[in-house]
Chains A and B, each alone.
Chain A
Amino acid sequence: MNDVPDDLKDVVEDFVKDDAPIEIKDQVADISPGSIVWARRRRALADLAHRFSRDRLAVAGLIVLVVFVAMALLAPLLSDRSGLSAVASVDNPTWAHPSGDFPLGTDNLGRSVAAQFVWGSRISLFVGLMATLLTIAIGSVVGIVSGFFGRWTDAVLMRITDWFLVIPFLPLAIVLAAVLGRSVWNIIFVIGITSWPSTARLVRAQVLTIKERLYVDRARALGAGRTHVISKHVLPNVAPLILANTTLAVPISILTETTLSFLGLGDPSQASWGKTLEEAFHAGAINREAWWYYLPAGLGIVAVVLAFTMFGRALEEILDPRLRER
Chain B
Amino acid sequence: MRPRYVVGKIAGAIGTLAFVLVFNFFLFRIVNDDPTASMFRGRNLSPSQIQSLREKFNLDGSKLEQFGAYLRETAQGNLGVSLLSRRPVSTEIREAIWPTVLLVGTATAAAMVIGVLLGIHAGWRRRSAFDVGSTTSSMLTYSVPDFWLGMLLLGFLAVRFDVFPTGGLEDPGTTATGLSLLIDQAHHMALPMITLALGYVGEYAIVMRSSMLDTLREDYLQLARAKGLRDANVRRHHAVPNALLPVVSLSALNFGFVLSGAIAVESIFSWPGLGQATFEAIRGPDFPVLQGLFLLFSAALIVANLAVDLLYGYLDPRVAGR
Contacts and interface: CB of A to CB of B under 8 A. Distances in A.
Interface of A: 162-163, 166-168, 170-172, 174-176, 178-180, 251, 255, 258-259, 262-265, 277, 280-281, 286-287, 289, 291, 294-295, 298, 301-302, 305-306, 309-310, 325-326
Chain A CB within 10 A, most for which of B143, B155, B278: B143
B142 A259 contact: no
A263 B279 contact: yes
5 smallest A-B Cβ distances: which pairs? A298-B148, A305-B143, A179-B31, A171-B297, A306-B143
Chain A CB within 10 A, most for which of B31, B147, B285, B298: B147
A262 B240 CA distance: 40
Given A263-B263, A286-B155, A281 B268 contact: yes
Contact of B278 (A163, A174, A280): A174
23 contacts: A166-B16, A166-B305, A168-B301, A170-B260, A170-B263, A171-B293, A171-B297, A171-B298, A175-B291, A178-B282, A255-B143, A259-B264, A262-B145, A263-B267, A263-B278, A263-B282, A264-B283, A277-B148, A287-B159, A298-B152, A305-B143, A306-B139, A309-B139
A287 B160 CA distance: 9
A230 B180 CA distance: 68
A163 to B, nearest CB: 5
Interface in B85-99: none
A179 B28 contact: yes
B84 interface: no
B interface residue count range (under 10 / 10 to 19 / 20 to 34 / 35 or more): 35 or more
A27 to B, nearest CB: 46
A2 B197 CA distance: 81
Nearest to A306: B143
Chain B CB within 10 A, most for which of A174, A301, A302: A174
Contacts of A287: 159, 166
B282 A174 contact: yes
B322 to A, nearest CB: 25
Given A171-B278, A277-B145, A277-B147, 7 more contacts: A168-B301, A171-B294, A179-B31, A255-B145, A277-B151, A286-B151, A326-B213
Interface in B292-322: 293-294, 297-298, 300-302, 305
A180 B257 CA distance: 24
Contact of A168 (B140, B279, B298): B298
Contacts of A265: 282
Nearest to A175: B294
A101 to B, nearest CB: 24
B21 to A, nearest CB: 12
Contacts of B283: 264
Contacts of B139: 306, 309-310
Contacts of A259: 145, 147, 263-264
Contacts of A167: 16, 20, 23, 298, 301
Nearest to A263: B282
